[in-house]
Amino acid sequence: MDLWHCVYCSASAKETSNTELVTLLEECRTKNAKNGLTGILLYHKRSFFQVLEGDRTAVEALFDKIEVDPRHNRVIKIISEPIAARAFAKWTMGYPNIGFKELAEIPALNDFFMRGRSYLELGEGRAKALLAAFQEGRWRVSLR
Ligand SMILES: Cc1cc2nc3c(=O)[nH]c(=O)nc-3n(C[C@H](O)[C@H](O)[C@H](O)COP(=O)(O)O)c2cc1C
């Protein structure tokens, strides 16, 4: 397997309710389980941040679909590269059970969140810090 991950952010087409997020997560989890994909999805200030990991072909095929999904726009691919191992092998699509307060405690992202920024303004450096917080930091335990 050509193990790969793709990290992107996007602007939700509208304010996404909890019910809509749960429905989206269910859809993701069912399909990802079939396609051998894992990852995490975050939602904050009308923006999404998602990590997709799995076989390169499957990751890229899914990203092509996600990019044109009308539920969001301004999809920005931040990272697309090979990985040695999955960071979220246990999660067909993990979703953190935390709020703004906890996110704002992530080292290197404190100022960013306190200034009211959305994931769209993350950039590669901060995206890596966010990824690391869920990959090996204390925020990992919040993943459901
Ligand atoms: C923010 C966001 C994240 C998504 N994540 C996934 C995902 O992880 N897996 C997935 O299969 N579809 C995901 N989707 C849905 C896809 O865009 C697309 O609707 C779905 O894969 C359609 O699959 P099908 O055409 O093969 O039925 C996501 C959509 C949005 C808006």
The per-residue pLDDT for range 16-31, each reduced to its tens digit, is 999 999 999 999 999 9
pLDDT over 90 at 1, yes or no: no
Q: How many CA atoms lie within 13 A of 32 on its CB side?
A: 26
Percentage of residues in the chain having pLDDT higher than 90? 97
**Which of 8, 65, 73 to mutate for ligand 1's pocket (most ligand atoms within 8 Å of CB)?**
65
Tokens representing 19 are 């019910």
pLDDT tens digits, one per residue of 48-62: 999 999 999 999 999
Distance CA 11, CA 120 (A): 7
Tokens 């051998």 -> residue: 36
pTM: 0.97
DSSP, res 109: T
Strands (E), the chain: 3-12, 38-44, 47-55, 72-82
Q: Tell me the pLDDT tens digit for each residue of 65-109.
A: 999 999 999 999 999 999 999 999 999 999 999 998 999 999 899
Q: What is the reported pLDDT for 107? A: 87
The CB of 28 under 6 Å from ligand 1? The reply is yes
Domains of the chain: 3-142 (3.30.70.100)
Ligand 1 neighbour 48 (Cβ under 6 A): yes
Look up residue 86 and give its two tokens. 């999955």
Count CB neighbours of 131 within 10 A.
20
| Tokens found for residue 140 | 């990992």
Q: Is the dihedral of CA 129, 137, 116, 114 positive or negative?
A: negative
